[in-house]
Structure 1
Amino acid sequence: MPLTVETCVARHLGDREEQQDRVSLFPHPSRPGMMMAVLADGMGGHSGGAMAAEQVVIKARQNFEAFKPSSEEPRHLLSSIVNEAHLVIRLTRFTSEKDPHSTAVILMLQPGRVDWVHCGDSRLYHFRGDATVSRTLDHSLVGELQRKGRLDEASALNHPQRNVLLSCLGSDREPKLGFGHVESLIAGDSFLLCSDGLWAYFSDDELAATVNMFPAREAAAKLIAAARERAEGAGDNISVSIIKLVDAPNGREALPAGVSTSR
């Protein structure tokens, strides 16, 4: 059966004074069936983090609009977005008194395929129904300890150095990039992009169950409400994007002829 796409983006200030997360979702301007979701968690003092995160979104839109799938690989596009945004963010350090940094997670959907890249500890989850197929691995101290088997998932969520990043955009080191892709998409596949202001309060199973059970917009609202309650007045900025593949109702245009979105 043909597929269509149900989407949502959402943010919440949390208990911070400034919103430094950025999240956006947009179709390709001339190629039906293609869309991009981008999420960035900015860091760097007053306004600096917001400026860094905004640069990720700007560069994603610019490069995606120029993308030519007949002559350019998805991985090349995604890496160019992160690397060029990193360079722009670094240059702003010389033109301002701020020290801006940002995470990045970017997903590109085209007919029959999804590709993604990430840097930092903002995450992408791929669910199939209520099962977690995969998720990105954090470029963080805690993430590295987990990969070495020195820390389990439960301990990681409460580790005092959970926010220490080993790679991000805007630092002196070149950003470390993590790539992924999936083909043969089916109804029931869904993708969640989120900052640590959301995922820090949930297990993978909880996230998968909520995204599977509710339409994208309702799922985002429920996850944000639960994160706010669990933060107990000490929550970070929250940003989230949900992309769900569902069977196309009769009369609805389906992939790959075009992307239909609901926000």
Structure 2
Amino acid sequence: MPISVDACVAQHLGDRREQQDRVAILPHPGGGGVALAVVADGMGGHTGGTIAAQQVVHTARNNLERFSARSESARVLLESSINEAHMLIKACRFINEKDPHSTVVMLLLQPGKVSWAHCGDSRFYHFRGDSLIFRSTDHSYVAQLVVQGKITPEQALVHPNRNILLTSLGGVETPKVAFGEAEGLRGGDTFLLCSDGLWGYFTDQELAWAIDGAASAREASELLIGRARALAKGDGDNMSLAILKLVDTAAPEKVSASAADDGLLPPQPAK
């Protein structure tokens, strides 16, 4: 059965003075069902984090425009985008006298498969219905403690050192990047990319239930941000997310009312 994509990006300032996250879903200019989703969580004090996150999205957009799905691998696109953004962010330290850094998570959607990469603690989730298929592992101090069995995932959410990252873009060392890929996609598969300002309030199962139970990607975005804001109790971080829901369609010539001509819903910010 043909599949369409219902997609949405959303952000909320939280209780911060400045929005240092950046998020985008970028359709390939050549179409073909190829698109790149990006979430970048900037760090580095006033304006520094914004500069870093903007550079991540800008670099990803430029590389996507030159990407040929027929002759180039998804991993090369993702890896080059992250490494180039890293070098450009480092250069900004000298030009702007800031200390910019950023995390990043990217997803490249192609017909029948997705590829992803991440650095830091911005996350990638793959759900099928209300079940978790895959979740990225943070490059953070507490994530390593969980992997080592020293603390539980629940303890990690409230650990005093939960914000310590082991790698990011813009640092002295080359960023550590994790990659993955999935094929055999079908209707009911959903992909979530988000910054820690969102996922920090939910278990994996709660995210799955909320997204699966929503009628659209936009409704899921609004629901998650609304719940996170209520749980933040006046001390919430910036939040950014991108949701891509694969939907079975009745016929090839029909496109979901919530989808654009290229098969992707234009980014719709949730208030």
Unaligned segments of structure 2, at least 5 residues? none
Identify the residue that residue 99 of structure 1 maps to in structure 2. Answer: 99
1:240 is aligned to: 241
Q: Percent identity?
A: 54
Shift, 1:249, TM fit: 4.2
Secondary structure of 2:207's counterpart equals helix
Tell me how far 1:68 sits from its aligned partner: 1.1
Give me the whole-angstrom Cα distance separating, in 2, the residues matched to 1:237 and 1:249: 38
TM-score by length of 1: 0.97
Residue type of the partner of 2:62?
Answer: Q
Where does residue 59 of structure 2 map in the other structure? 59
Equivalent pair of 2:27/2:262 in contact (CA under 8 Å): no
Contact 1:36 1:109 in 2 (8 A): yes
Q: Secondary structure at the match of 1:229?
A: helix
Q: How far is 1:132 from its partner? A: 0.3
Q: For the residues of structure 1 that align with 2:153 and 2:29, how far apart are their CA atoms?
A: 41
Query: Hey, what does 1:117 align to over in structure 2?
Result: 117
Would you say how many aligned residue pairs link Structure 1 and Structure 2?
262
Q: CA deviation at 1:168?
A: 0.3
Cα shift at 1:32: 1.6
Aligned mates of 1:221, 1:100 — CA distance in 2: 29
Corresponding residue number in structure 1 for 2:254: 252
Single out whichever of 82-91 and 23-32 deviates more from structure 2.
23-32
In the TM superposition, what is the alpha-carbon distance from 1:236 to its structure 2 partner?
0.3
Deviations 1:129-182 (A, max 9, x none): 000001110000011111111111110000001000000000001000011110
1:200-215 alignment, distance < 5 Å: 200-214=200-214, 215=216
Shift of 1:24: 0.3
Conserved in 1, the CA contact under 8 Å of 2:56 and 2:85?
A: yes
Rounded to whole Å, the distance in 1 between the matches of 2:220 and 2:245 is 11
| Residue 70 (structure 1) shift | 2.1
Counterpart in 2 of 1:223? 224
Which stretch shifts more, 240-249 or 195-204? 240-249
**1:100-249 → structure 2 map (5 Å cutoff):** 100-214=100-214, 215-249=216-250
5+ long unaligned stretches in structure 1: none
RMSD over equivalenced CA pairs, Å = 1.5
CA distance in 1, matches of 2:201, 2:70: 41
| DSSP 3-state at the match of 1:107 | strand
Q: CA deviation at 1:258?
A: 4.9
Which one-letter code corresponds to 1:261 in the other structure? L
Alpha-carbon distance between aligned partners in 2 of 1:39 and 1:156, rounded to the nearest angstrom: 22
How far apart, CA to CA, are the structure 2 residues paired with 1:55 and 1:25? 15
Q: Which amino acid aligns with 2:186?
A: I
Alignment partner, residue 44 of structure 1: 44
Distance 1:180 1:147 in 2: 18
Distance 1:202 1:249 in 2: 34
Conserved? CA contact 2:27–2:264, under 8 Å: no
User: Which contiguous aligned blocks of 4+ residues in structure 1 show a shift greater than 4 angstroms?
Assistant: none
Q: How far, CA to CA, are the matches of 2:264 and 2:179 in structure 1?
A: 26
Aligned position for 1:261: 265
Q: CA deviation at 1:216?
A: 0.4
Q: Which residue of 1 aligns with 2:71?
A: 71
Mapped partners of 1:150, 1:219: distance in 2: 33
SS in 1 for 2:114: strand
Q: Label 1:147 to 1:93 Cα distance change in 2 as closer, same or farther (>3 A).
A: same
Counterpart Cα distance in 1 of 2:19 and 2:262 = 33
Deviates more, 1:122-131 or 1:142-151: 142-151
- In 2, the alpha carbon distance for the partners of 1:154 and 1:148 equals 14
Are residues 1:11 and 2:11 paired?
Answer: yes
* TM-fit CA distance, 1:259: 2.2
> What is the CA–CA distance in structure 1 between the aligned matches of 2:147 and 2:65, rounded to whole Å?
36
Preserved CA contact (<8 Å) 1:35 1:259: no
Q: Given that residues 41 and 195 in structure 1 are in contact (C-alpha distance below 8 angstroms), is that contact kept between their aligned partners in structure 2?
A: yes
| In structure 2, C-alpha distance between the alignment counterparts of 1:114 and 1:79, rounded to whole Å | 15
